[in-house]
Amino acid sequence: MMRVGLVDATLVNGVFGDPLLLLQIGHQKRCLLFDLGYHGPLSARTAHQVTDVFISHAHVDHICGFLWLMRCRIGHYPSCRIFGPPGLAKNITGMIDGILWDRIGDKAPHFDIYEVHGNHLHHWQIAAGSPLSAALDVRAINDQIIWQETQFQIRAVTLDHTAKDCGPDNPFTPVLAYAFEPLRQVNVRKDRLRALNLCAGPWLQVLKDHVLNGVRDAEIQVEDKTFLSGELADKILLKSAGKRLVYATDLADSSENRSTLCSLAQGAHTLFCEASFMNGDKDLAGFTGHLTTKACGEIGTAAAVQHLIPFHFSGRYQALSDVIYDEVTTSCPNTRKPAA
Ligand SMILES: [Zn+2]
Ligand SMILES: [Zn+2]
């Protein structure tokens, strides 16, 4: 687990297992998932805290955990948003329809599905056991922003994961790469805290929440004194731009993919990027629409990210992880291993 600004980020299945990046937002009991491979180490409690899932594409290693998520959310839970490329609503309903739902009553899990079609977002509401209807609404996507709320926004770009080994009729396989962008970050100025003779306590978190939510007129009680949130925040908190985190996986090494991903990831604090194959297996990477270690590192360097975390390594290299990291590091000195 590693801290990136206001979130804790965990590659749940490590760098060799199915892609599944868990983001836990600060002290809130709220989780975001990027891809939904094998769920193994996650608890049902985590599944209950998931509000949004961002699927890169529907290959089995990226979506098989959906059945787990759905099962955990049988009961009275709010709808969970799931974003992904065209076809996602059909993929999800296909999995739902594989189950007999005759006893579900009002406990059916609910999902809001959003498919990214170029500059448009197609939206469906799905309840397990009910048939899929036509898209509920279609809205324009501005500036690649597919989701926005007070604390953060999510950008998505479409990349190409088309495999070359299936012949000329092989269909275009779109994948989405995502950027998690906190709109701002607040830190406590300890010198100001001391100057005002205030002791740190749970009230600081309450104050930070008010600032992040734009609330300036809430009353904050600190020991025997009462302050207005806006005035106190101006005195003791420092606001800065949030730390951007980018997630990209299953993309072919093409100049178009490189430039699209580099512009999304430019200057990011952390880039999680696939490096499925080693340099020596460049042909295999090309045939399957994946990156090599070298390409992954070059993208990290071109995007000038502070931390590059390569992942989704092919299982064939289990005993070679040091060599993999050496190869990525050669083209990107900012390469890091995810903290356990
Ligand atoms: Zn794939
Ligand atoms: Zn994959």
How far apart (Å, rounded) are the C-alpha atoms in residues 175 and 84?
A: 8
Distance 141 CA to ligand 2 centre (A): 26
* CATH number attached to the domain at 2-183+243-331: 3.60.15.10
Pairing of strands 2-4, 145-148: unpaired
Distance 159 CA to ligand 2 centre (A): 14
pLDDT at residue 267, as a whole number: 97
Question: And the tokens for 221?
Answer: 């009680």
How far apart (Å, rounded) are the C-alpha atoms in residues 255 and 235?
A: 48
How do residues 76-113 score in pLDDT, each as one tens digit? Answer: 999 999 999 999 999 999 999 999 999 998 999 999 99
How far apart (Å, rounded) are the C-alpha atoms in residues 114 and 126?
A: 11
Distance 249 CA to ligand 2 centre (A): 7
Distance 47 CA to ligand 2 centre (A): 22
Residue-range domain boundaries for the chain: 2-183+243-331, 186-240
Distance 250 CA to ligand 2 centre (A): 5
pLDDT at residue 9, as a whole number: 95
Positions in the chain whose pLDDT score sits under 50: none
- DSSP assignment of 205-265: HHHHHHHHTT--S-EEEETTEEEEHHHHHHHHEEEEPPPPEEEE-S----HHHHHHHHHHH
pTM: 0.89
Residues with CB under 5 A from ligand 2 (ion): 61, 250
